[in-house]
Structure 1
């Protein structure tokens, strides 16, 4: 009898030790019901996400010759979802890259902010699909699946990656509605991200004169033509002396819940070097520098449709994220066999035109001759007929939903 009790005691100890070890290794050990997220962590979230956004922006800028549009917020969310199912070492590396805290409840609060910046409406049409396609022979971890789906980080679907790669490739191209750069089906999963924007300005550009106009490089040489929307209207403008860049803000949608910011370089500074030197403090300084003009400003921005397909696996490799694509074991907490993604592609598109929700009120003639109330270097105009950058932001948190750089003249 004593021997039986001793054996049972040893077995229980082994089971307990094994359970404790599994809990220490597996990153999927918390229940969101424990969290009480009443604390306002918007500032911490915004600072964290911008560090990652700028790293992405710089890498994409170099590889695209400063001609692209992409959704940094959506990439941040997808990488966070994969980090939640990665092994401990890889998870910590990804958390550091994303500036995510180890406290799971604070992470959940970050996810709540990140995934609620976009919602369907009649005036601003933003369609964002974040999808993990996993081989239909893999068994998903229910804990990871519940975490990413309940927090709206990822949708998960099955395709026959191992048994019918041709069918899987066809389905992927159908989902993305475009070419898929770097498509690789040697692993057990692929990550797909699709962001399409077509929104109405809060105040329309409907009175703008649209004309074909030259587009210049930073040396002042005409390198092509664009359809320019020219209009006189009041707007908020800002300036950063360190970057030598001025920006203008246009509200988007009802209640101005989104903002579109455009930035042009003052002088003939090299845009590449300026992008390389920008940090999150510069971004916040620019936003804080915005002031309303007291008079209408001469505005000229291109009317265009922009589309990019970006191999995000290559971009993340630039940021030293290598093991996700080379070591299947690091995603063993996502599925069995491990998810091992070998493709990560984002398709992004954005439409800029004149349509809006309301019209600007008529201005008296005297308004055009009064002082602007702005920094003198800003002048009385904003002309984007040479390389410029712009982005779409959520007005509440200033999360960057879309970011773009334009150095070539034709996007139609």
Structure 2
């Protein structure tokens, strides 16, 4: 079976990293990533390239060469401006841009164009052509082409409004919506059918990204908005819109985007893998949605990855309180072990365990066959005495790490460091 060659661009954003997780283990996909700046994408994508920014003259040529080099079939754009740009050019490169209808991306990129398209709908917020039209304060002033709440200013009077307008490009003056805000993740298939509507709360937001989301049932008002958007725009793949309640509790539209949302993991964990659905849709398959309503809350946090600038072929691992804690396998350490195996490293278990090491391994449900060698030291015998060649050493006990570091001059790590390495 030929895999679909998928490119994620830019790939180091939260959206790009979510797509990497959503598609990384798919048997249908060969995943590629590109970015225009040095970012986490280089670590997350085995096939990675850096390209110029879309505003640079060299972008089209280099990007086209990359698409040909990797035989790319499908592109996920993870930024609204990139989506808008690629939508105009994807056809001449002979690739499919997920949800890349040029008219839809152009309208979605502009809030004023969006509101104009749906003028007359009760869920479109009121906008003001100038400050003289405002009878009730406060109001919101926001960039016409902003996203994630960036650049939005709440102004209480005309003086504040005039100051905000002088510092903002393409400002849009809108009614203030004081109520709850939702993001609604959606999916439309190649037939134009709206297959999924997934509202979720934005309870804690960091840099425009919802870090805490509660999945919600689909209210009729939300469904109506989703249906109307799907009817008026040519959509194919994942897209989303954001709504907020006005002073009377009615939902009003904030914005639409033709890309995947940054916290769509809330849908994936419940069984709705939107990026994978886009790949399957590209393959012309009729899709069904299996959404588990029992998944209700998703919490996100920042994670860190470290790069080890050292070539090694063997990992020496302590046993007690490193691989096994209180008689049970340490999940973090075991994930690290399997990652090392995936990288083709040799694994050596080195321990002074007082009992039968193999029996204790079996009791913790760890296969002894994971290790190329098990070395059971005598009391007082230093662990450095059995370490050879280019290696790393993992042990929870600082004196052991210190002794190995001084004797062998190799990298040594405590168990708390394992989640940072080789992700």
Q: Normalised by the size of structure 1, how large is the TM-score? A: 0.20
TM-score (norm: length of structure 2)? 0.20
Higher relative contact order at CA 8 Å, sep ≥6: structure 1 or structure 2? 1
Greater fraction of residues in strand = 1
Structure showing greater Rg: 2
